[in-house]
Amino acid sequence: GAGVSQSPSNKVTEKGKDVELRCDPISGHTALYWYRQRLGQGLEFLIYFQGNSAPDKSGLPSDRFSAERTGESVSTLTIQRTQQEDSAVYLCASSPAFLGAREKLFFGSGTQLSVL
Amino acid sequence: DAKTTQPTSMDCAEGRAANLPCNHSTISGNEYVYWYRQIHSQGPQYIIHGLKNNETNEMASLIITEDRKSSTLILPHATLRDTAVYYCIVRVINSGYALNFGKGTSLLVTP
């Protein structure tokens, strides 16, 4: 596809369960970002990938959160033992690597996670 | 990154120009000004960026003051579809770190 694709678009889970959220970036984009947005709040940075490595994991809120990226493409954000405060929209973005364009982020439509 | 200050909310009549201000008085010489917007239930969308010269593209114009301490995003003929939260971000270009989106300005375009 032409844009950033995220799946699932909606996920309802029970407290304590693990969830996996997937992001397919734009082909050729080496940088990939995960953000979280709680209802009525701003975007909260979680983690940044350059290629398959993650030079900045500073936003991950706890050790229940992890992310990986393989093949410089797909990324998975995993939340273990979900809590109600994890309910939010999880947004993925990618950007090109070439100079002058790295701050032009292209966002997906997000995954709405609801923890009951 | 330099701190930015934006009004919490603004209104604009459809068809009129929407002028969204941003204060970034602590901006340093190698920091660019970026604008994004987020329409309800969508991910943010890049609009425009600039260093010191005024910039224009198909979406908007960016006017940066001579001292670079503030800027204005101009939507020349606002439509109802321009209703969104607009984020002003200051960042060293090519720094390779994530953008901090802050709280932005909620723009309501009215009929």
Q: Read off the pLDDT of each residue in A99-109 and give the average, rounded to a whole number.
A: 80
In the predicted model, is pLDDT for residue A12 greater than 70?
Answer: yes
Residues of A in contact with B100 (CB under 8 A): 45
Residue B49 β-bridge partners? B34
Picking from B89, B101, B105 by the largest number of A CB atoms within 10 A of its own CB, the best residue to mutate is B101
Measured in Å, how far apart are chain B's first and last C-alpha atoms?
37
CB atoms B93 and A102 under 8 Å: yes
pLDDT value at residue B102: 87
Which CA distances in Å does A103 have to A30, A58, A89, B32, B111? 12, 18, 21, 10, 34
Determine whether A59 is exposed, middle or buried from the number of CB atoms within 10 Å of its CB (0-12, 13-18, 19+): middle
Name the H helices within chain B.
Answer: none
For the segment A43-88, what is each residue's pLDDT rounded down to a tens digit?
999 998 988 888 888 889 999 999 999 877 999 999 999 999 999 9
pLDDT value at residue B92: 81
Q: What three-state secondary structure class fits B81?
A: helix
| Helix, strand, coil % in chain A, rounded to nearest 5 | 5, 50, 50
In the predicted model, is pLDDT for residue A112 greater than 80?
Answer: yes
Å between A9 CA and nearest CA of chain B: 11
Q: How many angstroms separate the CA atoms of A13 and A85, rounded? A: 12
Residue B64 sits at the vertex; the CA angle it makes with B92 and B62, to the nearest 5 degrees, is: 90
In the predicted model, is pLDDT for residue B71 greater than 60?
Answer: yes
In the predicted model, is pLDDT for residue B106 greater than 70?
Answer: yes
pLDDT value at residue B45: 95
Å between B93 CA and nearest CA of chain A: 7
A31-35, A101-105, B50-54: which range is least confident on average? Answer: A101-105
